[in-house]
Amino acid sequence: VQLQESGGGLGQPGGSLRLSCAASGNIAIIYDMGWYRQAPGKEREPVAIITGDGTIYYADSVKDRFTISRDNVKRTVSLQMNSLRPDDTATYYCSMRILPTWGSQENYWGHGTQVTVSS
């Protein structure tokens, strides 16, 4: 099982960026999908999570600015980031809790994609 992120890069304050993450491999079920971020010198923190039944959690710092969505057919999760702020600068990681076609469920992580918000 592999997760591949795309998107990110340089965004301006007040601007928008979109992140996407696609899962591939021998997958039976994908449960939770989410995005986490880690800024320099800080711990990794959850940004937005969407469960298998569509329940959504947002960190307080991104509520009303970021939107998470999932496509179960394409096995993707996306994060639309609007009204960007400099403190959104971080490496963003995709995570999915997956049951592979064999074995037990576990959390999988992407390699991370850099988001920098600066004018």
Overall average pLDDT of the 12-37 stretch: 97
Q: Calculate the average pLDDT of the chain.
A: 96
Residue with tokens 């969505």: 69
Please state, in angstroms and rounded to a whole number, the distance separating the CA atoms of residues 52 and 72: 9
The answer to whether the CB of 34 falls within 8 A of the CB of 62 is no
DSSP for residue 3:
E
The answer to whether the CB of 80 falls within 8 A of the CB of 27 is no
Tokens representing 56 are 């959504």
- Indicate whether 24 pLDDT > 90: yes
Q: How many residues does the chain have?
A: 119
- Indicate whether 100 pLDDT > 90: yes
pLDDT > 90 in the chain, percent: 97
